Structure 1
Amino acid sequence: MLALGAGIFIYALHDVNVAALVHDFNLINWWWMAVALLCICLYLGLEGVVVKIFMKDRYRDFTWRDAFRIPLIEQLFNGITPFSTGGQPAQLLAMLQSGVDGGIASSVLLMKFVVFQAMIVINFLISLLIGFHYISEKLHALSLLVLFGFLIHLTVIVALLLIMYWYHFTKRLTNWAIKPLAWFMKAPRYEKMRITLNEKIDSFYQESLKMKTEYRKMARVCVVTILQLFFYYVIPYFILLALGVHHINFVMVVSLHVLIFMIISLFPIPGGAGGAEYSFSILFAAYVHSNTKLVLAMLLWRLLTYYFGMFAGVGALAVPPQKVKNKTIE
C-alpha cells in the first residue's frame, strides 16, 4: 500500500511545478495543521472511548491502553484489506489477546459496528441535502457513486434492523434469498454456508435483545460516535486554512468530506487508493484555484486520514496487551 500510494503521489505531482510546490509548502500555517492532526487523534481516541464504554460493565480491569489499542489496529487492517474487511477480525484478535472472552468481544464489536454504521447514514443524509447538488453539477458519474455507496451502508442498517425487530421473517427471507447459490456450489459447502449465516443471524438477534435494554449506554455511544465522525469530517477544512485558503464554507467542506467517505467505501482497492485522491481533487477544486495547492492539500489530507492511522496501528501492534481477569461483571 505504501508503494501504491507513492505511485499515486508521483502521478499527482507529474504536472506540478516543483518550485511552486516547495514555495507553498514553506508557507503552510503549521498551527492549523496541528489542529488537523489533533482532529485525527480525537477521531481515533474517541473510538477507544466507545470500546471502553462497552467493556466497562463486562471487564472491570480492561485498561484504557487496550481500549485505545483496538481502533488503531483496526485502522491498520482496514487500510491494507479490500473494502476494509480486515478491521473487524483484527479487532477481535486484539481483544482475545487481552484475555477477553470471544463471545463478549464479538458482542462489543458488533454493537460498535451497528452504531457506527447508523451514524454514518445519518451524517450522510444531512450532507446529501447540503452538498449533493454541488457534486451532481460537477461530475454526474461521481454523484452516482455517492448514491451507490449510501445504498450499501443503508442496506446494512436495514438488514440489521430487520433482524432486531422481524427476526423470524428475516431469517426465512435470508434462507430463501441464498437458495440460488446452491446451483453454483457443492451441497456440503452450501449447507455449511447456510448454517454459518443462520448462526450469525441468531447471534446478532441475541445481542440486539441486550442492546434494547442498554438504551442509556447506547445513547452515550451514539453521542461519542457522532463527535468522533465530526472530528474526522472537519480535517479538510483545517488543511485548507493551513494552506491559506480562506473564505471557505465550513458546512459545505464538511459535507463534501462526508460524501467522499461514501465514495471511498466503494473502491475494492485497500484504502480506496486512487478513488480517494481523485474524489478529493475533483470536489475541492472549486475552493483551491491553485493546482499546486490542491495537490498539496490532497497529499496532506491523505497522509492524515489514511497513512497516519496505518502507522499508528503498526505502533499499536508493538504494544503488548494487558491481560484482563477471567471474572466478568454481570
Structure 2
Amino acid sequence: MKETKKKILWSVVLLALIGITLYVIVKSNDSLTLEGFIQYVSKAKKQWIVAAFGCMLGFIVFEALAVRELSKAFGYKRKFRKALVYSTSDIYFSAITPSATGGQPASAYFMMNDKIPGAVTTIVLLVNLTLYTTSIILIGMVCFITRPYMFMHFSFVSKCMIVFGFVFQFVLIAVFILLVYKEKIIMKTANFFMRLLSKLHLMHNIEKKQEHLIEVEMQYKECAAAIKGKLKNILIALIYNFMQRLSLIMVSVCVFIAVGGSAHNIYNAFIAQGFVVLGSNSVPIPGAVGAADYLFIDGFGKIINDSVSIELLSRGISFYCCLVVCGLITFAASVLHSLKGMKQKKKC
C-alpha cells in the first residue's frame, strides 16, 4: 500500500513538472501557438517522423534484448515478450521516480514472477545498469572528441550539467569495478566516512548502515563470481545497451531531418543530443523533466532556428510517447499477472 501511494505521488509530481515545463517553454516563446505548432508538425517529412517513432521503439526493444541476453547467460532463457515487460517496467518507473530509483525494483518484480531467482535478478540488473552507464560514457567521449566546439556553444549552466553528468557516470563505473574486483578499498573508504559523519552527528544508526554495507559487499562478491566466463554475453548486452542509447539520440536526429534541418548539421544534431543525454541523465528529477528540455533548446538553438518547436516534437516522441507505450505494456502485464493469480487461487 505504501509503495502504491509513492508511485501515485511521483506520478502526480511528474505531471506537475511536465505542466510547469511546458508552460515555461510556451511563455518564453511568444511566437509559439498551438495552431502554429500543429502546422509545424504537419509540414514535417512523414517518413522521418515514422523513423523517429521506430527509434523510440528501438529504445524499448534493445533494453529487452540486453536483459534477455544477461538472463540467458545465467541459465534463465525467457521469451522476448517477457523481456519486453522487464524493459517497459524499468523505463516507465525510472521516468516517474527521481534518479530513476523505481525502475529496477519494478523490473525485478516481473523477473522474479517469471521464476528468475532474486540473486540472479539482482546481478542481471546490476550488470545491465553498468553497461547502460558505460554506453553513456562511450557516447559522451565521442561527443567531446569529435565535436569539442559543440560543447563550447552550450551555456555555462548547461556545461556544468554536462561535465557533472560525465564525471558522475564515470565515478559510477569506477565504483562498480572497485566493488567487484577491489571491494576492500570501497568498504574501508565507506566505513571511514560513515564513522566521520557519525562523529559529526550527521549520520544516525551507523550500525544498521554498516550492516547494509556488508550486504552490498556480499552482492558484489556474488556478482564478481557470477560474471566470470560470461564475457561473450556481457559484450552482446553492451552492444544492445549502446544501440539503446543510439536509438534515443536518433529520435532527435530523425526529427531534425523531418523539419528541414540542414544536411551538414545532421552530425551536429547527433552530438547536441548526445550532450543532452549526458547532462540530463544524472539529474535527480523524474524523467529529467525540465533539465533535458533546457539542455535541448540550448544545444539545438545553435544549429536550427526554431529550437523550441523541434524540442517539443522530439521530446514528445522520445519521452512522452515512450512513457505511454511503456505504461500501457506494463499495466497490461500487471493485469494479466493478477488474472493468472486469481485463476490459480480458484483451482486451489
TM-score relative to the length of structure 2: 0.85
- 1:11 is matched with 24
- 2:227 is matched with 211
* Distance (whole Å) between structure 2 residues aligned to residue 47 and residue 167 of structure 1: 28
Whether 1:21 aligns to 2:37 is: yes
| Residue number among 245, 270, 291 corresponding to 1:254 in the alignment | 270
* Unmatched 5+ stretches in structure 2: 1-13, 341-348
Whether 1:134 aligns to 2:147 is: no
Query: Per-residue displacement from partner, 1:278-304 (whole Å, max 9, x unpaired)?
Result: 111111012221x3xx22211111112
Check 1:23–1:303 CA distance in 2 against 1; reply closer, same or farther (3 A cut). Answer: closer
- 1:306 is matched with 319
* Distance (whole Å) between structure 1 residues aligned to residue 19 and residue 164 of structure 2: 28
User: Residue type of the partner of 2:215?
Assistant: E
* Distance (whole Å) between structure 1 residues aligned to residue 225 and residue 180 of structure 2: 7
Identity of aligned residues (%): 19
Whether 1:288 aligns to 2:288 is: no
Q: Where do 1:1-330 residues align within 5 Å?
A: 1-14=14-27, 15-18=30-33, 19-58=35-74, 60=76, 62-183=78-199, 184=201, 189-289=205-305, 291=306, 294-315=307-328, 316-319=330-333, 320-321=336-337
Check 1:209–1:299 CA distance in 2 against 1; reply closer, same or farther (3 A cut). Answer: same
- 1:328 is matched with none
Does structure 2 conserve the Cα–Cα contact (< 8 Å) formed by 1:88 and 1:109? yes
* Unmatched 5+ stretches in structure 1: 324-330
* Distance (whole Å) between structure 2 residues aligned to residue 191 and residue 208 of structure 1: 26
User: Residue type of the partner of 1:133?
Assistant: Y
Task: Report the 3-state secondary structure (helix = DSSP H, G, I; strand = E; otherwise coil) of the residue aligned with 1:212.
Answer: coil
Task: Report the 3-state secondary structure (helix = DSSP H, G, I; strand = E; otherwise coil) of the residue aligned with 1:249.
Answer: helix
Check 1:321–1:223 CA distance in 2 against 1; reply closer, same or farther (3 A cut). Answer: farther
Count of aligned positions:
319
Two-structure CA RMSD over aligned residues (Å): 2.1
* Distance (whole Å) between structure 2 residues aligned to residue 205 and residue 191 of structure 1: 21
Q: Which range is displaced more, 172-181 or 236-245?
A: 172-181
Query: Per-residue displacement from partner, 1:41-84 (whole Å, max 9, x unpaired)?
Result: 11110110111112225455622211001111111111111111
Check 1:131–1:119 CA distance in 2 against 1; reply closer, same or farther (3 A cut). Answer: same
Does structure 2 conserve the Cα–Cα contact (< 8 Å) formed by 1:21 and 1:296? yes
Query: Per-residue displacement from partner, 1:192-241 (whole Å, max 9, x unpaired)?
Result: 11111221122112212322321111111112222221111221111011
Q: Which range is displaced more, 4-13 or 35-44?
A: 4-13
Check 1:321–1:218 CA distance in 2 against 1; reply closer, same or farther (3 A cut). Answer: farther
Does structure 1 conserve the Cα–Cα contact (< 8 Å) formed by 2:162 and 2:280? no
Does structure 1 conserve the Cα–Cα contact (< 8 Å) formed by 2:64 and 2:86? yes
* Distance (whole Å) between structure 1 residues aligned to residue 283 and residue 176 of structure 2: 23
Does structure 2 conserve the Cα–Cα contact (< 8 Å) formed by 1:98 and 1:321? no
* Distance (whole Å) between structure 1 residues aligned to residue 283 and residue 184 of structure 2: 34
* Distance (whole Å) between structure 1 residues aligned to residue 212 and residue 83 of structure 2: 29
Check 1:177–1:312 CA distance in 2 against 1; reply closer, same or farther (3 A cut). Answer: same
Does structure 2 conserve the Cα–Cα contact (< 8 Å) formed by 1:248 and 1:287? no
* Distance (whole Å) between structure 2 residues aligned to residue 110 and residue 53 of structure 1: 14
Check 1:176–1:286 CA distance in 2 against 1; reply closer, same or farther (3 A cut). Answer: same
User: Residue type of the partner of 2:22?
Assistant: F
Check 1:61–1:280 CA distance in 2 against 1; reply closer, same or farther (3 A cut). Answer: closer
TM-score relative to the length of structure 1: 0.89
* Distance (whole Å) between structure 1 residues aligned to residue 208 and residue 309 of structure 2: 50
Q: CA deviation at 1:29?
A: 1.3
Check 1:250–1:321 CA distance in 2 against 1; reply closer, same or farther (3 A cut). Answer: farther
